[in-house]
Amino acid sequence: MRSPGNFLSAGLRAAVPAAVLSGAPSTAHALVTKSDPLEASVAAGSILLPGESRRYRLLLAAVPVHAALSAGWAVMLAAVFPLRNPVAEGALAGLAIAAIDLGVIGRRFPRLRALRPVPQIADHVAFGVAASLALSRQSKTQT
């Protein structure tokens, strides 16, 4: 477990790979089902620009939304995870994050509410696993 002084930087470093990898499940699902692979990104942009309908603006708005959410969740994981079993802990954290992001916050945004839940839950699990593995790797290199 990281000391209180370094969980912020550890979380921010873990957020980068987790944010990049977290969209893989829904993107793969979209490609297989021949649906829009950017649908979730457009929906994320609607958090920042709820009244916007232009796709390019929603995609641009998705970047800071996704970055902020990824950084916040990864810092939180860095602060609380014991990292005894990073894959299991990350998967459980991803499910908890999905419950909050999709079940509590997402209900307030029509585009998020319209997303297929299973690919989005899979993205959140991928985020949790990637973040916890990155945190675990950081812990091992610091010891």
Rounded Cα–Cα distance for residues 99 and 93 (Å): 10
Tokens of 117: 């839940």
Determine the average pLDDT of the residues in 112-125.
97
Rounded Cα–Cα distance for residues 8 and 93 (Å): 18
How confident is the model at residue 14, as a pLDDT?
96
Radius of gyration of the chain (CA): 15
- Answer yes or no: are the C-beta atoms of 75 and 43 closer than 8 Å: no
Q: Is the pLDDT confidence value at 5 over 90?
A: no
Q: Kindly list the distances between the CA atom of residue 135 and the CA atoms of 24, 46, 96, 100, 120, in Å, as whole numbers in the listed order.
A: 20, 30, 18, 22, 23
Q: Is the pLDDT confidence value at 1 over 60?
A: no
How confident is the model at residue 75, as a pLDDT?
96
Q: Is the pLDDT confidence value at 105 over 60?
A: yes
Torsion angle in degrees (nearest 10) through CA of 136, 139, 141, 143: -140
Determine the average pLDDT of the residues in 12-30.
96
Express each pLDDT in 35-91 by its tens digit: 999 999 999 999 999 999 999 999 999 999 999 999 999 999 999 987 789 999 999
Model confidence at 140, pLDDT cuts 50, 70, 90, reads confident
Model confidence at 3, pLDDT cuts 50, 70, 90, reads low
Express each pLDDT in 25-48 by its tens digit: 999 999 999 999 999 999 999 999
Instruction: Give the global pTM.
Output: 0.92
* Residues 6+ away with beta carbon under 8 Å from 65: 44, 45, 47, 48
